[in-house]
Structure formats: structure tokens, C-alpha cells
């Protein structure tokens, strides 16, 4: 069973990694080709392309200029520890044991606009490049055209290597669209997380993102490799709701009173 999650805009390259068991991304040649395109953009053009402030555009222009393999712990950091958004608050990859990391390497992948597909321990250098960016490239008008064939093949291989033909989609729509699901040799299960608000259960973005990370970490720590086991997810007050679930969409709900403070 393989799980996929999205990357995060927030990065932490100041805190040292908690492991020295690291790997290199599989598609650095693809990444280099994108970096070469991005280096031709001025900060103002990057601001327009990515819809970010002038300050952020300047920061990322500098990142693209400085980006250079080979990666090591001196100039890069494991992806699952470098990303610091809501999903990664739930994942807490810096607390993984050696055995957790080994299982995660086989059963968790991170979709990325620059790196394509990352294992948790793959080293990355700082960047910002969202999958939805309309960056013209030799394959087409955007990053979906650039990555879809490569990602689909790589995800299929990772599913096969995981030992169970099941893909747990814990990524955002923006990122999961980069995979051609019709070409996957797997059952695709999509967990949905709803929190109670004013007496109704709704998807609340902050909580849902963190829950994706919580489930990813739970799968890793419990060494799960069967879809039936997913219904047992009960971390931080969530519980499976069979009445709201349908087919391969599994709904988990959390009452307001059960939400950790």
C-alpha cells in the first residue's frame, strides 16, 4: 500500500535533520531542466508567474540561481523534514525511528512541482514551484504536461514495490491531478476528514490538511499494508463514519468536543 501527500510552501532548512540515512531524488535531471527554464525569469516575471510578492519572488530567484546537485546534508535536507506545512505538522517526520523511516521509504511519496516524486528521505534544496504553475516547457504549457507521464509510471512502480495494489490519496487535488489515475494498476482510496462546526460536519482546510499527515504517520507507525485497516484510524479524535463513506471514499469525522486543544 502506497500513500501520497502534497509538499508545503513553508520550509525549514535551519533545523538539522534527525537522520543521516538519506537518498537522492530520482528525477534530478527533470528538475535541472525546470531550473534552467526558471533561471531565465526575472524576479518580476516570477512574481507574475507564481502569483507571489516581490519579496518572495526575489527569494526564489536566488534559490533557483543557487540550486545545484549533488545534494548532501551540508546543502540539502530530507524532504519530509524540510517541508513544514499543516500536513507535516501531523506527519512529524523528525520523530520517526530508523524503522519508521525505512517503512516510509517504501510506502510514502511526496508529489512535487520541481522534484516530481519524492521519498521521505530524499534530499531537497529550497524551492517554491507549485504543481499548478503554468510554466511553459518542452512538454507543454504547464507542469501537468511536464510531469504526468513520468509521475504516473513512477507511482505505478512504487505501488508495485509496496507489496499491495492500493494507493491512499492523501494529496490535494492540485497535486493529485498530476497523476493519470486511469493508468494506475491500483485501487485508489481517498480519505476525507470532516470536523464539527455549528453542529455540522464540514471539511475545514487546516484540520483536514493536518489529518492527512496524521493518517500518513499512523500508517507508517502501525506498518499498515491493507485498505481495510484504514477504517481503524482514530488519532486526535477522528473516527470512521460508514454512513458518510461511499465506495473508495472513506469519511472520518471528529466532534468539536473531541478536538485536541
**Could you give the CA distance from residue 29 to residue 244 in angstroms, rounded to a whole number?**
44
> Average of pLDDT values for 234-249?
98
Phi, psi of 212 (to 5 degrees): -60, -40
What's the CA gap between 241 and 252, in Å, rounded? 5
Cα–Cα distance for residue pair 86/94, rounded to 1 Å: 14
> What residues pair up with 118 in beta bridges, in sequence order?
110
pLDDT score of 261: 82
User: Above 90 in pLDDT, residue 77?
Assistant: yes
pLDDT tens for 190-232 read 999 999 999 999 999 999 999 999 999 999 999 999 999 999 9
The CA–CA distances, whole Å, from 239 to 192, 214, 224 equal 11, 13, 17
Residues 113-172 pLDDT 10s: 999 999 999 999 999 999 999 999 999 999 999 999 999 999 999 999 999 999 999 999
Residue 33's contacts (CB-CB under 8 Å, 6 or more residues apart) are 137, 138
Question: What is the per-residue pLDDT across 17-30, written as a single tens digit (0 to 9) for each?
Answer: 999 999 999 999 99
The average pLDDT across 16-44 equals 98
Q: Domain coordinates of the chain in residue numbers? A: 2-258
Phi, psi of 92 (to 5 degrees): 50, 55
Residue 107 near residue 228 (C-beta atoms within 8 A): no
Q: What is the mean pLDDT of the chain?
A: 97
Amino acid at each position: 500500500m502506497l500513500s501520497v501527500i502534497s509538499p508545503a510552501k513553508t520550509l525549514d532548512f535551519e533545523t538539522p535533520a534527525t537522520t543521516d540515512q538519506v537518498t537522492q531524488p530520482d528525477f534530478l535531471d527533470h528538475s535541472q531542466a525546470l531550473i534552467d527554464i526558471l533561471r531565465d525569469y526575472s524576479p518580476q516575471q516570477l512574481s507574475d508567474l507564481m502569483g507571489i510578492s516581490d519579496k518572495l519572488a526575489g527569494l526564489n530567484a536566488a534559490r533557483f540561481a543557487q540550486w545545484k546537485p549533488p545534494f548532501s546534508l551540508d546543502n540539502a535536507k530530507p524532504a519530509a523534514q524540510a517541508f513544514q506545512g499543516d500536513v507535516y505538522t501531523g506527519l512529524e517526520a523528525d520523530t520517526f525511528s530508523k524503522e519508521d523511516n525505512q517503512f516510509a521509504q517504501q510506502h510514502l511519496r511526496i508529489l512535487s512541482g520541481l522534484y516530481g516524486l519524492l521519498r521521505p528521505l530524499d534530499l531537497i534544496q529550497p524551492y517554491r514551484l507549485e504543481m499548478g504553475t503554468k510554466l511553459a516547457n518542452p512538454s507543454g504549457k504547464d507542469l501537468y504536461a511536464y510531469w504526468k507521464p513520468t509521475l504516473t509510471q513512477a507511482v505505478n512502480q512504487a505501488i508495485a514495490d509496496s507489496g499491495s495494489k492500493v494507493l491512499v490519496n492523501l494529496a490535494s487535488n492540485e497535486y493529485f491531478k498530476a497523476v493519470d489515475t486511469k493508468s494506475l494498476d491500483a485501487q485508489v482510496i481517498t480519505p476525507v476528514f470532516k470536523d464539527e462546526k455549528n453542529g455540522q460536519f464540514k471539511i475545514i482546510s487546516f484540520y483536514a490538511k493536518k489529518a492527512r499527515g496524521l493518517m500518513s504517520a499512523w500508517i507508517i507507525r502501525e506498518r499498515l499494508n491493507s485498505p481495510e485497516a484504514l477504517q481503524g484510524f482514530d488519532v486526535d479524535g477522528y473516527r470512521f463514519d460508514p454512513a458518510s463513506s461511499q465506495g473508495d471514499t472513506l469519511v472520518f469525522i471528529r466532534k468539536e468536543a473531541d478536538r485536541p486543544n
